Structures are given as structure tokens and as C-alpha cells.
Structure 1
Amino acid sequence: TGKPKGVVTTHANIAAQVTSLVTAWEWRADDWILLVLPLHHVHGIINVLTCALWAGARCEMLPKFDAERVWARIADGDLTLFMAVPTIYGKLITAWEAAALERRRAWSAGCAPPGMRLMVSGSAALPVQRLERWREITGHVLLERYGMTEIGMALANPLHGERRPGFVGTPLPGVEVRLVDEAGRPVPAGTPGEIEVRGETVFLEYWRRPDATGAAFRDGWFRTGDVAVSEHGAYRMLGRSSVDIIKTGGYKVSALEVEEVLRTHPAIAECAVVGVDDPEWGERICAAVERRGEAELTLAELQAWAKERLAPYKIPRALRSVPALPRNALGKVTKPEVAKLFTG
């Protein structure tokens, strides 16, 4: 979410990205997918539209997202695939919970396999609570994956097999992934490291930015700037090194891990955790929250609650309640804007 850079992607890159997903997710000519994502983003234009075209499948486009209209199309029972971002799944859950019992049953029935064979979430971390609620409503465990504009998709949970909440799976076909320390040395399983990616899916260069291109590669590997850990053969995201890894009091804290815990508080509907410069701690952990209903929440109350669930150094030291967290066009929280709530 920093200043945009032009990503030069070749036809060969796109072909590699698409064939990797068509293979991994077993796209077929008789698949039918509803596009609810913007086409200026790789999630919509590559993962949905171009994969559908490559497979000879049907891609149906809505002029804009409307939760009830999307549910109505799902209820028709002819869709086989659905891909969205966590924010959209959240809006669909809210609409389902507000609907009458008969509509709920019809909407849920439209998700039933084998008709609807796969539902995917990506472009931002999927809260575990949202994954569990979606499973309760539809019977589907959302397939989480990890990627970015520069590389297409790199990691994904399996089409067949166990999908673990909070994990983004293993490398997709044709993609090499490794985790490295700050010196570029591979780290062992269980140790956090930066994700580096290599393969035909990786972009050519940043448009007219040779300096940025040079800094983005190390020995042929693309440096994503994202941090993960490999546990029991699968990758778990810890966040973006620039905004989600908070260095406080000599510790490195994953903002995503703190957010997962805070979302279980009964007064918190949604939250974002950031690190803000602090002369004593290096960075102090700050939490911006959307409150649930009319619930009240003070910093002291949150800290007392968090002491039972988080290590002392992971507990937020500042709290702001906001009507809505700042988000980009895909619904992803813009952390630099959140940080301004604590520095302005």
C-alpha cells in the first residue's frame, strides 16, 4: 500500500501464472464463475477472468458488488466456482444473517457441492472467525492462497485435502518458494523469514525503475517483503515486514497474530494493529477498532482482557475506536492510514 510502481509482466509470465492455477484448481470448460472483483487487480483479471478464458469456462460479470444480488446468483445453483476477498465474504455473511430463514436456506443450498466445487479467498489475510462462520453457513472451507502483482499466485491450500485456518498452504505448480533471514540465508522450519519466489510466474521489471528492480531481486529470487513461517509442511503468514512486523522492546511481533486475538473480544467487530515510533520501546503496539454495536471499550479494559490471551509485550498500548477502518478498492486495510490515527 505504498507508492504504486508499474509492474511489467510478459505474456510468458501471464501464461505461467494462469496454467499454474488451472492445473492446481482443476479448471474445466464446464466451470461457471461469478466475477465480483475489480479488473485492475491480479485477483480479478488473472485468477478469475483469464483462468476462465484459458479453460473455456464461463465468467459472468456483475456491474458492481451487491451482497443480495450475489447471493441470489449463488442460489440459482449453476455456479461452480467463487473467488473473493475477505471483506466481500464479511458482507455476504452480514447479508445472510439479516435475511429471513427461507432465504438463508436457499442461499446456503446454492453453495452445496458438487455444484459449487470451490470457494477461494485472497488479497488480504482471512480472519479465522470469518472462515469458520462461512463454513457454518455454506459447508465450504475457504481455500486461502497467497500472491501479489509481481508474482501472480505463489502459495495455496490444497484443492483436495486439509485446509488449515490461518495458513496459505504450499507452493503452486511451477513456483519455487523459500524463507530467508535478513542476510538472505534460508531459515529452518519453525523460524520466521521473508518469502522469496522464483520461477516463470515472476515479473520482468518495474517500469522505468531499474533501482527498484535491482533492490527487489537477490540471486535470482524475488524478495516479496512478506514474512511467514513454515509449520508442519505449510506456510503461515505473519505479515508485511514494513507494516505488520512490529519491533517493540527487542521483540518482533506479528500484527496479524494480535489482530486474530483481538477479533475474539465481544466488543470488537474488526480491528487493525500497527506499530508507531516510540522513544522507549522502538515501536509501540496500537490498535484501531470498529466496535460491535453500541459496545463500549476502553484501553484499560482491553489491556486487562488481553493479559489473559497475549504475551505482555504483544498487548496494545494505544486504542482508537473508528466508525470504519481505512481500506483500498479491494477492501484491504491501509495500514499507513491507520498509523496516522496515532500520530496526528
Structure 2
Amino acid sequence: MHRHPSKPFRHVIITGGAGFIGSQISARLMKEKTRVTILTRNASAPRAAALAKEGGKVVACDFSDADRVPSPDTLDPADALFHFAADVSVSSPTLRAANVDGTSRVLALADALAIPYVVYASSIEAQGLGSEPEIPLREDMACRPVSDYGQSKVLAEDLVTEWGSLSGHRALVLRIGNIYGPGSAWFLHPSLLALLGATPIRTIWAKLRHRLFQPLFIDDLIEGLCRAVDRRLVGTYNITGEEQVTIEGYLAKLASLAQLTDRVQLMHEPATSLSRSHPIAPDFAYVLMGSQERCHRAYDNSKLRAEIGPYARWPLSRGLAATLQWYDTSGRLPALLAALRRQPGAMTCM
């Protein structure tokens, strides 16, 4: 059942509010006339500077370091705090300080400012991976993270959930899926390189090609998140794409857009000795985590859709086309796009 939207927020504090996702949330809220305070490690970064010009208050802050957390008396009271700041490394010695200790400090700041509502950006990596009989994975299933990052998110979720159970507190945990779109070359960059033969993939193709994931276009994430917050949802929800796609299916869609369809078939050929000597791209290594049986990133988002309605409106092919177009017109990844243009018939969609 869809709940009616609540009264708009007057002021929101957003940690990580100048990051890829956080900056989009910040911009959306400011467009809706909500006052936004952005807490970010680098207050002079381009996204932070752009948000400041749009009217956001930008404050330098690093929740992984207790000495770099702003004093509560330097911040105005707020209706909500969105916690998006994170270390997203798969494995790093700083993960606990940033994602667990940092979350604890964020909640202490919410208490000091008497903020009643906290939204925590968790990850599907907290849930972990599933086998074919298990998927799609639901929020009430056991968490089995396969990375240090995922484990740090589980611990942070526990902190937020406990905080939300206290009197006068409400907390929303969103397990965010694999996000893509203009401004993020995640998985797009190595996939294009693989299609061009510029990064090895044949050595891992047999293990990689059948694995499932659910890419979610950035605009759809923002839409779903804003609807969830408008309705003041509490609890834990998966927020993922609607379309489960294999890695082979993803590369086939990308190859079709770039007029490189013949390259997908080449990936089935035996690996050369040269390709075996090159390291695997980090994005491919990420997808290869888990076992051959429990290897799919496929999640059930019906709990969230029941509350807010359908929110994913960008099919993968359309989202990839928009992302490629943005990189072409913005001048990002120029060398890669130039290489694509040199391929016969390539990039005619642009």
C-alpha cells in the first residue's frame, strides 16, 4: 500500500553530499526548496563547489577521524540526516574507521542536533551473493557478505537499526544496488576496453559470463530514494534495478550500442599467453567474488515497490545509451571514445 507523502523537509544534512550519489540527492532536495548542508571530505572539489553555487552549505568533514567531525554548535538543527559518506573499497584497512566508527559518529551527531530521522545508504554487498535457487535475495534473508566492505556495511546497518529502535528515533536503511549513469564509468569503462581487446577478459569469461546483476540507473535511484523519504519509510529495503542481466547480456547490449557486436563472440576464443599476463580489471574482479554456485547479485525489491510504487523507468539499453552519450558530449574518457570511433561503424549511435 502506497503511503501519502509527508510534509517536505525544511533542512537536511547530507554526509557525502558531494559524491556521485550524494550530489544528486543534494541537487534534487535543493530544487525542491529544501535547505541542504553538505558534509564532505573535500569542500573544494568540483561537485562541492557547484552545489555551493546552487545554495548548498558545504562543510569540510571526515567521520573516519574524530578530530575532523564538526562541532554540533556549528550546524543548524535539521529535520533529517542522510548518511552517504563511505569508504567503498572492497578491502581496505580504513573500512572500519570510515564505515563503522564513522557511522557511530554520524548517529552521535544526529543525537546532539536532536535529528529524529536518519537515512542510511547501505549496499547490496551487506546482503551478499545468492545461488540460482536462492535468488532474488530478500531483506529478511541472512546476510552473507563476501567482502570486507560488505561486512562493514552489515555492522553499520546494525548501528543504524539499533539507533532507530530508540524512542523518538526513526531510521531507514537502503541497500543500494549497482548504480550506473552519467558521471560514473563503473563497469562501463572496463567493458568497453574488453570489447576493444584492450583489457583481458577471455581468461575469466567462462566464470564471468553467466553471473547475474541488476544495474540501476542513477535517475531511478534518486526517484526511488526520494519517494521512500517522502513517505518517511523505516526499516531495511533493497533498492535495485528491475532487470536481472548476465554479464554476457550486459556486454551484448553495450556492444550493440557501440556497433561492436562481433567482439562479444571473440570472448569465447581461447585466451592468449599475452592476455594471461595482464591483471584483471578491478570491476571484473568484483563481479567474480563468491563461489561459482553462490555468485549472483540478484535482489527482490518488491517490499520497496509495495510502499512507493514502481520507480525504475530506465531500461538498461536506454540507460547505457544515455551514459555513453554523456561521456561523448562531456569530453570524458576521450582516449577510449576515440579508440571506439576508429572501429569501422562504431559509435554510430552518437
Q: What TM-score comes out, normalization by structure 1 length?
A: 0.36
Higher relative contact order (CA 8 A, sep 6+): 2
Whichever structure has more strand as a proportion of its residues is 1
Q: What TM-score comes out, normalization by structure 2 length?
A: 0.36
